[in-house]
Structure 1
Amino acid sequence: MEVVRTYGKAYGQCINFDKSSLLFGKRINAATRQEIKDTLGIHNDGGMGKYLGIPEDISGSKCKLFAFLKDNLMHRVNGWTGRWLSKGVNEVMIKSILLALPTYVMSTFLLPLEICENLASAIAQFWWSSNPPKRRIHWAKWEKVCLPKEEGGIGFRLIYEFNLELLAKQLWRLVQYPDSLVARVLRGRYYRTTSPLRAISTSSPSYVWTIISAARKLLLLGIRQKIQYGYDVRVWEDPCIPTTPARPARLVAPVMHLNMRVSDLINQESKEWDA
Structure 2
Amino acid sequence: MTRSLQLAARSPSFRFHPMCKSLKLVNLCFADDVILFWKGSLAAVSVLKDTLGKFSEASGLSINAKKSQTYFGGVSAADRNVIMQVIQLPEGTFPLHYLGVPMRPMKWKHVDCEIIVQKMRTKLFSWSSKHLSYAGRLLLIHTVLFGLRNYWMNVFILPQSIIKEVEKLCRMFLWGASGTRSKLHLASWQQVCLPKAYGGLGLRDGASWNRALLAKYVWAVTTKQDTLWVKWVQYVYLKGVNFWDYVLKQDSS
| TM-score normalised by L of structure 2 | 0.70
| Aligned residue type for 1:44 | E
| Structure with the largest fraction of helix | 2
Q: Mark the runs of 5 or more structure 2 residues left unpaired by the alignment.
A: 1-47
Which residue among 78, 96, 100 is the counterpart of 1:53? 100
Question: Contact 2:129–2:137 (CA<8 Å) still a contact in 1?
Answer: no
Pair 1:117-2:164 in alignment: yes
Structure 2 residue matching 1:123: 3-state secondary structure: helix
Whether 1:201 and 2:247 are equivalent positions in the alignment is yes
Segments of structure 1 that go 5 or more residues without pairing to the other structure are 210-275
Match of 2:20 in 1: none
Size of the aligned set, in residue pairs, is: 205
Q: Which residue of 2 aligns with 1:94?
A: 141
Q: Distance in 1 between matches of 2:95 and 2:237?
A: 29
In 1, distance between residues paired with 2:218 and 2:170? 29
Matches for 1:70-219 after TM superposition, within 5 Å = 70-129=117-176, 133=180, 135-195=182-242, 197-206=243-252, 209=253
With CA pairs under 8 Å and 6+ residues apart, which has the higher RCO, 1 or 2?
2
Deviation at 1:103, TM superposition (A): 1.9
Instruction: After TM superposition, give the deviation of residue 182 of structure 1 in Å.
Output: 1.1
Q: Which amino acid aligns with 1:162?
A: W
Match of 2:67 in 1: 19
- Summarize the Cα distance change of 1:141–1:42 in structure 2 as closer, same or farther, 3 Å threshold: same
SS of 1:50's equivalent in the other structure is strand
Read off the aligned partner of 1:185 and give its amino acid letter.
W
Q: Which amino acid aligns with 1:20?
A: S
Compared CA separation, residues 49 and 201, structure 1 to 2 (3 A): closer
Cα offset for 1:138?
Answer: 1.5
CA RMSD between the two structures = 2.6
Q: Distance in 2 between matches of 1:188 and 1:7?
A: 30
Q: Quick one: percent identity of the two aligned structures?
A: 26
Deviations 1:252-271 (A, max 9, x none): xxxxxxxxxxxxxxxxxxxx
Greater displacement, 164-173 / 70-79 = 164-173
Which is richer in strand? 2
Give the match for residue 248 of structure 1: none
> Partner amino acid for 2:134?
K
Q: 1:173 is matched by which residue type in structure 2?
A: A
Q: Hey, what's the Cα distance between the residues in 1 that align with 2:59 and 2:171?
A: 49
